[in-house]
Amino acid sequence: MTSTQDAATAAAAPGTFAPAPGDEWWRTAVIYQIYPRSFADSDGDGIGDLPGITARLDSLADLGVDAIWLSPFMVSPQKDAGYDVADYCDVDPIFGTLADFDAMLARAHGLGIRVIVDLVPNHSSDQHTWFQQALASPPGSPERARYIFRDGRGENGDLPPNNWESVFGGPMWDRVTEPDGTPGQWYLHIFDSSQPDFDWTNPEVREQFRGVLRFWLDRGVDGFRIDVAHGLIKKDGLPDYTPPADGDSMGGDDDDVPYWGQPGVHDVWRDWHEVAAEYDGDRALCAEAWLPTPDKTALWVRPDELHQAFNFPYLTTEWDAAPLRTIITESLRAFPAVGAPSTWVLSNHDVIRHASRLALSGESPQGEGIGPLSAAQPIPELGLRRARAASTVMLALPGSAYVYQGEELGLPEAVDIPDSARQDPTWFRTKHEKYGRDGCRVPIPWEASAPAFGFNATGASWLPQPASWAEHARDVESRDPESTLSLYRQLLAERRAHGLGSATFTWLDGFPATVLAFRVDDVTVIANLGDSVVALPEGRILIASEGFTGRELPADTAVWLVAD
């Protein structure tokens, strides 16, 4: 049989899924998310920076990642940790300079690591020149037309133009004072009031962002992670909308949310696709689009749109074999059906770290975070055990995978951050009702006995590090063959050696319903999500998420098996 016939036969068999064709690097890459504030701090001010990243890149080469994605480091007043950009084409002084960026990029490329930067097109900072010009200009002016300004409702225009609620809590509108001192129009902000939304129906906005893309592509970046890639276009007329009470604030659980996933957004991505295609080297565009199903998410990665879209339906699936089997199946069908890989992810800077999230004592809706008074509290040992098993499953799945800094150390969510130290706008805008995301953003530990666990030399840290993180420090875990770091190193090395990113996937029958069992080319993966042990099939254990003896797989454990 030819390889094409092989692939066709495989695709036809029930429970078998072949990847979409293509050998671009992003189809199979393991991409490590760096959250620059919390990765490594070279100048000791308590906030991580670009020279800090450069100095620590060796450890990522050692881990075996293909690429890094940096959360925003552009000029910003930091009202939303850099997702409020005041100048898209320069580096914020707290992170360094453009020269520091170039040095970081050169070092990464020298190590064979590609670099993706974060671009925030839905909104700017209120300190962006354009927004300042809009405030200084009259209603109806071209300066206002770059953002979404509207007159208010009610007799004196003192009610917001509609009932939309910000993702961070409170109304999605703020009222401005006109240059003549009178109460004026309202502007839309899906997030914080310091993050006004652009009007993407305005050609000037589109042109500005083509320029921003080219600025970074010319510098040599390998791609972009695109913030809120489902939010840019709002429904005509901005009709009132009330989300379902138990809905996820970032994703439309309804079919037609007037500010999420509006069809016009796809034109923007077709345009960006063309800009990226002007450059050599398969520059990649990755969507942050919170959509409820793989089928909907796949619309963002059709052949002429973006290349990757985070598989958030997978991230939000609980640790339970049946729903995981469903979501993996749907993903392996939906993404290749449009020619794309699935882009697996378990943690990032917006969600509770999966070493805590997968074992909570109760419900914790996405985006709310956890803190000392939350009803749901982590069960640490069980959480870590499940996280190791979950990562052992994820890193066997065909497609690309993102790893969030610190998950390779098994870091839990930092729950006991004092109220006075919290910084997430969610915490403030919900009047302390929701803790938000600080707990997954705490600076990561490098050396157990150094100040700030080696994050810097002074011991300063913009969010306090739990004392218990000494045991997770990279130097400690490097020496321990049983550590989570050693597990991740093994997973990445064997994933590469066995070509799992482009493997054909087949579900295996004959296991209890609480087990995930599948083959990816020559590797068999068995994960036990139930309470009782499970007899392993034949094969040598290549990797186990936990140490055990014999052929009975314990609960919350996953293995990779190969033929002897």
What residues numbered 427-486 form the site for ligand NOJ, per CB under 6 A?
none
Contacts of 516 (CB under 8 A, 6+ apart): 321, 324, 325, 328, 393, 525, 526, 527, 529, 558
What residues numbered 377-436 form the site for ligand NOJ, per CB under 6 A?
none
| Residue 459: CB atoms within 10 Å | 13
Residue 79-98 contact track with ligand NOJ, rule CB under 6 A, x = bound:
-x--x---------------
Smallest separation (angstroms) from ligand NOJ to the CB of 230 = 11
Residue 197 near ligand NOJ by CB under 6 A: no
Distance CA 60, CA 485 (A): 11
Residue 227 near ligand NOJ by CB under 6 A: yes
Contacts of 22 (CB under 8 A, 6+ apart): 339
* Residues 297, 334 contacting (CB under 8 angstroms): yes
Smallest separation (angstroms) from ligand NOJ to the CB of 562 = 37
User: Residues 68, 94, 228, 287: which binds ligand NOJ (CB under 6 A)?
Assistant: 228
Smallest separation (angstroms) from ligand NOJ to the CB of 315 = 13
80 vs 126, beta carbon nearer ligand NOJ: 80
Size of the site for ligand NOJ (CB under 6 A): 9
120 vs 394, beta carbon nearer ligand NOJ: 120
Give alpha helix (H) positions in 289-445. 294-298, 312-315, 321-337, 354-357, 380-394, 425-429
Q: Which of 100, 199, 227, 407 is catalytic?
A: 227
191 vs 469, beta carbon nearer ligand NOJ: 191
Q: Is 227 a catalytic residue?
A: yes
User: Residues 350, 368, 413, 438: which binds ligand NOJ (CB under 6 A)?
Assistant: 350
Left, alpha or beta for 539 (phi > 0: left; psi -120 to 50: alpha)? left
Distance CA 282, CA 526 (A): 34
Residue 41 near ligand NOJ by CB under 6 A: no
Smallest separation (angstroms) from ligand NOJ to the CB of 355 = 20
104 vs 120, beta carbon nearer ligand NOJ: 120
DSSP letter string, 192-217: -TTSPBB-TTSHHHHHHHHHHHHHHH
Contacts of 539 (CB under 8 A, 6+ apart): 524, 561, 562, 563, 564
128 vs 349, beta carbon nearer ligand NOJ: 349
Distance CA 30, CA 395 (A): 8
Q: Which of 288, 407, 424, 556 is catalytic?
A: 288
Contacts of 504 (CB under 8 A, 6+ apart): 7, 10, 16, 17, 18, 19, 398, 520, 521
Residue 258-297 contact track with ligand NOJ, rule CB under 6 A, x = bound:
------------------------------x---------
Which amino acids are annotated catalytic?
227, 288
Which residues bind to ligand NOJ, rule: CB under 6 A?
Answer: 80, 83, 120, 191, 227-228, 288, 349-350
